[in-house]
Amino acid sequence: MKCSKCGSDKVEVQAVAETSKRGCLAALIYIVLLCIPVIGWIALFKLIRGKKSRTVSYAVCQSCGRRWRI
């Protein structure tokens, strides 16, 4: 793999656990789901579980420091 910025092939691939940046909207969804017995709780549980297992691969150029998502 080559860096699209400097053309160097010294690219390191990293697996990064993605963190949510949805903020208050996500909190609102959680609260709404919490208010729905059983169905809402299952949906909430699946939402949290799905988020935790999510990893994203990033390529990092060792020459210029450019970082991009694969």
- Report the interface residues with Zn ion, using CB under 5 A: 3, 5-6, 8, 61, 63-64, 66
Q: Are strands 67-69 and 55-61 parallel, antiparallel or unpaired?
A: antiparallel
Smallest distance, Å, CB 62 to Zn ion? 8
**Residue 26 or 64 having the CB closest to Zn ion:** 64
- Rg of the chain on CA atoms, in Å: 18
**Residue 33 or 61 having the CB closest to Zn ion:** 61
Smallest distance, Å, CB 16 to Zn ion? 18
Q: How far is CA 7 from the centre of its chain?
A: 27
Smallest distance, Å, CB 4 to Zn ion? 8
**Contact in structure between 45 and 33 (CB atoms under 8 Å):** no
